[in-house]
Amino acid sequence: MLKNIPKIISPELMKVLLEMGHGDEILLADGNYPCHSVGVKVVRLDGHGIPEILKAILKYFPLDTFVEENVLLMDNNLSTKPEIWKSYEEILYDSKEDFRVKVLERFKFYERAKNVFAIVATSESALYANIILKKGVVKT
């Protein structure tokens, strides 16, 4: 643990976030996501939901403003969208980042996820809660 850093960010997760560059993507995956068969680095955060992790990450993580979308969600193909998306929207809004959401059809989301920099394996139990973030430029 360190001063001023949320406890939920493990040493390994922080290292991964620092190593990511402009355009790299990270997937926050729900508890049922087949994380280990994707073939990319997996950081496990068992026992946690996604919103608390999303909030902690966005304290440090700039979203990419060079592209049309920097937040990707997996579609449930229903008229009623997953409840958890609302909390995502609030967290994104509070982060003051310029977020641009796109909803991807389920299998297109799986395709996209094959090229992420890393996957955070959570225990989120809400359905269709998976979310990909695209990293932007850190201004100094």
> Which active-site residues does the annotation give?
22, 64, 110
Q: Which of 37, 77, 79, 80 binds a copy of itself (CB under 8 A)?
A: 37
Question: Exposed, middle or buried: residue 94 (CB in 10 Å: 0-12, 13-18, 19+)?
Answer: exposed
Q: Which residue blocks in 33-83 are alpha helix, DSSP H?
A: 50-57
Cα 36 from Cα 34, distance rounded (Å)? 6
Cα 26 from Cα 133, distance rounded (Å)? 5
Query: Among residue numbers 47 through 106, which ones bind a copy of itself (CB under 8 A)?
Result: 47-48, 52, 59-62
Q: How many residues bind to a copy of itself according to rule CB under 8 A?
A: 50
Cα 110 from Cα 49, distance rounded (Å)? 20
C-beta closer to a copy of itself: residue 6 or 103: 6
Q: In which order are the strands placed within the sheet that holds 101-104? A: 41-44, 118-121, 25-29, 131-134, 71-74, 101-104
Stretch that binds a copy of itself, among 2-10, 73-81, 84-92 (CB under 8 A): 2-10
Cβ-Cβ contacts under 8 Å for 15 (sequence gap 6 or more): none
C-beta closer to a copy of itself: residue 72 or 135: 135
| 24 in contact with a copy of itself (CB under 8 A) | yes
| 17 in contact with a copy of itself (CB under 8 A) | yes
| 39 in contact with a copy of itself (CB under 8 A) | no
Contact footprint for a copy of itself (CB under 8 A): 1-24, 29, 31-37, 44-48, 52, 59-62, 117, 123, 125, 127, 135, 137-138, 140
